[in-house]
Amino acid sequence: MMWALVLSIVVLDQITKSLVILSFALNESRPVIPGLFHFTYVRNTGAAWGMFGGFNAWLAFFSAVVLCVLILFRRSLLGNGPLARWSFALLVGGILGNCLDRVRWFYVVDFLDFFWKESHFPAFNIADSAIFCGVCLLFFSSWSQSHQWQRDSDPMKVEPSPPSAG
């Protein structure tokens, strides 16, 4: 199940990026919801929000290292619960999708473009969305596990006594 999600993310990511490349000129933008959401073809040679622009080879290498670490040390890094497995699949699928772009085209294709009035969020793609969701799920999973551990190990916790007959 987990690997099926990884494959689905990579395939959906690569198909959507290929459709954008075939259907749009570079930097062309088409409104989907005018004033809020456009499809805009952007090439990103950096990481999130264009940070480290021009360091594509380094980012591809870094992505490959992160993938290897995630796969080899999955259980010790993420745990083995259902949320950890979902997080792992989202992270691996997203990292693979963007890494394929970096190796094949030497940039990442971004096209989901949101803005509100003067505020503009940098364009992103399906792989970026999967990575973001995977990180959020990982934080939530870690938070819920730490709170469960605190409840289970609280020395002041008083167990309710069974009702008395009588």
Helices (H) and strands (E) in the chain, counts: 5, 4
CA distance 166 to 163: 9
Say which amino acid occupies 53: G
128 catalytic residue (yes or no): yes
154 catalytic residue (yes or no): no
**Selected catalytic residue, list 101, 128, 152, 154:** 128
Closest CA to 110 of 35, 24, 33: 24
Q: How many CB atoms lie within 10 A of CB 153?
A: 8
44, containing H or E segment? strand 37-44
Query: Quick one: tokens of 136?
Result: 């959020």
**Selected catalytic residue, list 110, 113, 152, 154:** 110
Residues designated catalytic: 110, 128
